[in-house]
């Protein structure tokens, strides 16, 4: 199935953050830019590694950035754990707007597409004081870039994979010195009925269909003022597949709509960015797809956001921000609930000497429902010598209770408080000729984590009770070597994470101790061959750490051939060694499968 391709079409998959700065033509520093991330490790997936991917966002990140996802079966709901944190402790943004579900606080990475966006920015580590609620394990930003540069192009990408897996992607872009317009449409469909290896079962009831439409417009009023409009609409219709022990007849339909209007104004010393966003999420769950009875849920968010950057001098820069959110949720289990909150932050960046730059930030919010704590962060990057940087940061962070936690009929707890986190990390980056090596070690302490617990008569209720310590190491190594026309690239990533419930003294379920990923790419003239190998360590499935999902190795192969300047074709073999493996217990993932794709660019 195409979801398992790894593809390295283009340059190195993670360029370090110095490449971002030059993109900011005006002096507005995004929250993932160098000036705002001193002391943090930021990974950027560029458009070259996104444009030919056939995957969902989750698989793209898993194959390229060594992130761990817990997938409830292939194509089913997929949640992330960054640095051993839980699924709602990775904050996901879309052009700077937080898009984690208002209802459950998580993001389903199989519901999002990687492709419509120009780049994906991954900021590892805790950064609530700049980014807001939930940025604890890390944060991911899906970014659409607008440039006024008189270019136009049309891209078409079609692929056909095993089990009737179809993928179509069309993108058109027009840009003039005054105007910018981009439209992308993507559709995916699969029977997803692969056989479960070593059994007589198939992945029954696994069919899915989804589409994603992105439209982006830009208008340059004058050199100082620009208007940007981003909009996206996605629709996912999935049957929820069977497990090894239970058949399923369930169906889940979810859709998201988002609109963001942004006015950028900049002068010589300042820039200002006013945003208005409307977000809508909606789901329907059918326990039995042949029966019309179903559960529903939806939320609407209105977000007003204002960021102002001011360049005090060439070495000092400050940014302040204000964000006002109006949230509304309703559905079978939530009865017309709404809340509003307002959050403010201030951040200061300074480069006192060439070798050192640091960032301090402070954030405080207010809500009509719960207390939003004061949080702060300090991060610094110090250049020991031209090849070696030291990065370090320390921060306090938080996550707000979700609508499900607060308002679930009969069970929700309106007295819930925010979850609290403290994190410190230190790492080095070594860059020399062909080598780019980064390693970071971190320690993080979480308290007041919200956990649903059975009460008398087995009614479950959420309470601020769990304490978790996380610590571990990330390693990233990128090598690039060219001999005549032969280009070799290698990327290796390894994460070790301990995530321990302090009361039970046990590792959290579905957090692997070990996770590794490698990509080797070879290019020769018009040919590209790449191999992706992943290792997923075992995970515990019981809180007593007595049962596990086994570790597995996974290998994907990919070939590309450029036929002419406009056209290339690709072929991939996923799960090359036909390994039987599971991400979630009793939910087998696809066996060996194939994908053929064709890519046209005019």
Residues of the shown chain interacting with another protein in the complex, contacts defined by CB under 8 A: 72, 243-247, 287-288, 291, 293, 409-411, 453-454, 456-459, 509, 541-544, 546, 584-587
CB closer to another protein out of 247 and 352: 247
Which tokens go with 368? 């009509």
Residues 299/327, Cβ–Cβ less than 8 Å: yes
Residues 356/390, Cβ–Cβ less than 8 Å: no
A 10 A CB-CB count for 19 gives 12
Residue 104: its H or E element: none
CB closer to another protein out of 314 and 410: 410
DSSP state letters, 554-598: EEEEEEEEE-SSSEEEEEEEESTT----EEETTEEPP-SEEEEEE
Min separation Cβ 239 and another protein, Å: 16
Q: Which residues contact 266 (CB under 8 A, 6 or more apart)?
A: 26, 27, 28, 224, 272
Min separation Cβ 586 and another protein, Å: 5
From the number of C-beta atoms within 10 Å of its C-beta (0-12, 13-18, 19+), residue 576 rates as: middle
CB closer to another protein out of 245 and 564: 245
Report the C-alpha gap between 387 and 13 in whole angstroms.
Answer: 20
CB closer to another protein out of 459 and 483: 459
From the number of C-beta atoms within 10 Å of its C-beta (0-12, 13-18, 19+), residue 479 rates as: middle
Min separation Cβ 277 and another protein, Å: 34
Min separation Cβ 286 and another protein, Å: 9
CB closer to another protein out of 18 and 458: 458
Q: Where are the alpha helices (DSSP H) in 299-458?
A: 403-407
Min separation Cβ 123 and another protein, Å: 31
Q: Is the dihedral of CA 465, 336, 102, 130 positive or negative?
A: negative
How far separated are the first and last CA of the chain, in Å rounded?
28
Min separation Cβ 440 and another protein, Å: 31
CB closer to another protein out of 79 and 266: 79
CB closer to another protein out of 11 and 504: 504
Min separation Cβ 200 and another protein, Å: 12
Residues 341/325, Cβ–Cβ less than 8 Å: yes
CB closer to another protein out of 73 and 401: 73
- Residue 343: phi, psi to the nearest 5? -135, 145
- Residue 567: phi, psi to the nearest 5? -130, 135
For 342-354, give the secondary structure using H, E and C: EEEEEEEEEEEEC
Q: Are strands 388-399 and 419-432 parallel, antiparallel or unpaired?
A: antiparallel
Min separation Cβ 451 and another protein, Å: 9
CB closer to another protein out of 460 and 577: 460
Residues 379/38, Cβ–Cβ less than 8 Å: yes
Min separation Cβ 456 and another protein, Å: 6
CB closer to another protein out of 42 and 76: 76
From the number of C-beta atoms within 10 Å of its C-beta (0-12, 13-18, 19+), residue 292 rates as: exposed
Report the C-alpha gap between 128 and 437 in whole angstroms.
Answer: 26
CB closer to another protein out of 154 and 287: 287
CB closer to another protein out of 258 and 587: 587
Min separation Cβ 336 and another protein, Å: 16
Min separation Cβ 506 and another protein, Å: 9
CB closer to another protein out of 250 and 302: 250
Report the C-alpha gap between 128 and 124 in whole angstroms.
Answer: 12
Min separation Cβ 21 and another protein, Å: 45
Min separation Cβ 318 and another protein, Å: 47
Distance of CA 360 to the CA centre of its chain: 25
Min separation Cβ 541 and another protein, Å: 7
Report the C-alpha gap between 212 and 230 in whole angstroms.
Answer: 13
Residue 546: its H or E element: none
A 10 A CB-CB count for 281 gives 24
Which tokens go with 325? 């959110």
Identify which of 241, 69, 285 has the alpha carbon closest to the alpha carbon of residue 587.
241
Residues 17/179, Cβ–Cβ less than 8 Å: no
CB closer to another protein out of 128 and 333: 333
Report the C-alpha gap between 319 and 366 in whole angstroms.
Answer: 20
Report the C-alpha gap between 62 and 535 in whole angstroms.
Answer: 11
CB closer to another protein out of 72 and 417: 72
Min separation Cβ 251 and another protein, Å: 13
């Amino acid at each position: 199935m195409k979801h398992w391709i790894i593809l390295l079409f283009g340059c190195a998959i993670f360029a370090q953050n110095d490449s971002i700065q030059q993109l900011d033509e005006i002096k507005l520093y995004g929250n993932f830019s160098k000036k705002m991330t001193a002391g943090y490790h930021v990974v950027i997936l560029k458009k070259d590694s996104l444009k030919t991917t056939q995957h969902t966002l989750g698989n793209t990140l898993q194959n390229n950035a060594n992130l761990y996802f817990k997938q409830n079966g292939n194509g089913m709901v997929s949640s992330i754990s960054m640095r051993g944190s839980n699924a709602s402790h990775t904050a996901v943004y879309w052009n700077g707007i937080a898009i984690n579900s208002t209802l459950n606080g998580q993001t389903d990475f199989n519901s999002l597409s990687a492709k419509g966006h120009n780049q994906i920015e991954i900021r590892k580590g805790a950064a609530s004081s700049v980014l807001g609620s939930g940025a604890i394990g890390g944060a991911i930003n899906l970014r659409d870039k607008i440039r006024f540069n008189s270019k136009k192009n049309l891209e078409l990408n079609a692929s056909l994979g095993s089990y009737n897996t179809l993928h179509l992607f069309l993108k058109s872009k027009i840009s003039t010195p005054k105007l910018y317009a981009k439209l992308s449409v993507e559709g995916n469909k699969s029977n997803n009925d692969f056989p479960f290896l070593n059994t007589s079962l198939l992945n029954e009831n696994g069919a899915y269909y989804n589409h994603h439409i992105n439209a982006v417009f830009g208008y340059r009023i004058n050199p100082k003022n620009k208007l940007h409009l981003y909009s996206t609409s996605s629709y996912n219709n999935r049957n929820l597949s069977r497990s090894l022990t239970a058949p399923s007849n369930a169906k889940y339909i979810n859709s998201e709509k988002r609109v963001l209007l942004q006015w950028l104004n900049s002068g010589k010393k300042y820039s200002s960015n006013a945003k208005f966003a409307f977000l809508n999420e909606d789901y329907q769950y059918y326990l039995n797809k042949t029966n019309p009875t179903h559960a529903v849920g939806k939320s609407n968010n209105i977000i007003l956001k204002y960021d102002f950057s001011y360049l005090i001098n060439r070495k000092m820069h400050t940014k302040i921000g204000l964000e006002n959110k109006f949230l509304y949720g309703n559905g079978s289990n939530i009865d017309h609930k709404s809340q509003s909150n307002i959050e403010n932050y201030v951040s200061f960046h300074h480069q006192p000497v060439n070798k050192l730059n640091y960032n301090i930030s402070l954030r405080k919010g207010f809500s009509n429902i719960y207390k939003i704590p004061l949080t702060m962060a300090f991060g610094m990057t110090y250049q020991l010598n031209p090849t070696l940087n030291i990065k370090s940061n320390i921060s306090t962070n938080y996550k707000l209770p979700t609508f499900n936690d607060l308002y679930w009929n009969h069970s929700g707890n309106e007295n819930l408080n925010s979850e609290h986190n403290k994190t410190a990390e230190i790492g080095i980056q070594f860059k020399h000729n062909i080598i780019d090596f980064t390693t970071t070690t971190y320690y993080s302490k979480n308290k007041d984590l919200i956990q649903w617990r059975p009460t008398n008569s087995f009614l479950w209720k959420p309470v601020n009770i769990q304490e978790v310590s996380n610590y571990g190491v990330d390693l990233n190594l990128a090598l690039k070597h060219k001999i005549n026309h032969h280009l070799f690239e290698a990327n290796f990533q390894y994460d070790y994470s301990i995530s321990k419930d302090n009361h039970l003294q046990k590792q959290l379920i579905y957090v692997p101790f070990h996770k590794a990923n490698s990509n080797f790419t070879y290019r020769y003239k018009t040919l590209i061959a790449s191999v992706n190998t992943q290792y997923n360590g075992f995970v515990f499935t019981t809180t007593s750490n007595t049962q596990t999902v086994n570790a597995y190795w996974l290998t994907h192969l990919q070939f590309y051939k450029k036929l002419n300047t406009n056209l290339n074709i690709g072929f991939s073999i996923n799960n090359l060694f036909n390994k039987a493996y599971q991400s979630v217990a009793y939910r087998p993932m696809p066996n060996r499968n194939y994908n053929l794709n064709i890519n046209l660019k005019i």
